[in-house]
Amino acid sequence: MLWLWNTLILLATVLLMEIIAALSHKYIMHGWGWGWHLSHHEPHDSKFELNDLYAVVFALLSIGLIYAGVNGIWPLQWIGAGMTTYGALYFMVHDGLVHQRWPFRYIPRKGYLKRLYMAHRMHHAVRGREGCVSFGFLYAPPLHKLQATLRERHGRKPNAGAATAPPDAPGDEKRAK
């Protein structure tokens, strides 16, 4: 029965981490922590950016929780493991899929991954730290809502300058015109 509790703690932590990450992104990274995060919103040639220090901070916290859990405070190791799992998912989706920081290139054309990809591209469509949308990493609101929010925040008429996505299928270009 302990394995069930451990699994539930791990999964709950992964879900909670998406909420914590989105709030941290919005209020810390785009707030008082902008000094580190700014590097993520500017073009650069290096493999690393100052923003990567946020991952180091969360990794150290996760390691500390796992260590404390192994040494007596049982649930903490599974909370740390959940944070590590979230970190791995974040790395694959955000750094790999969205920002193409891996040696291979894949741009999703439909479904959930396309929605994540496009939502984060819309997040980066705004210059600076104010007026951005979609602060989550593994969840993204529907794209039409993000587009409407961007238009509203930046004083554009409906559909003026709307972010567009590559078509889902070869026949979509005809329907889009």
Is the separation of the CB atoms in 87 and 55 below 8 Å? yes
pLDDT in tens, 54-82: 999 999 999 999 999 999 998 999 999 99
Residue type (1 letter), 133:
V
The domain spans of the chain are 1-41+48-152
Res 60: pLDDT: 98
pLDDT in tens, 77-129: 999 999 999 999 999 999 888 888 887 788 899 999 999 999 999 999 888 88
Residue range 129-148: mean pLDDT, rounded? 91
Task: Tell me which H or E stretch contains 77.
Answer: helix 74-90
Sorting pLDDT into bands at 50, 70 and 90, what band is 161?
very low
Checking if the pLDDT of 175 tops 50, the result is no
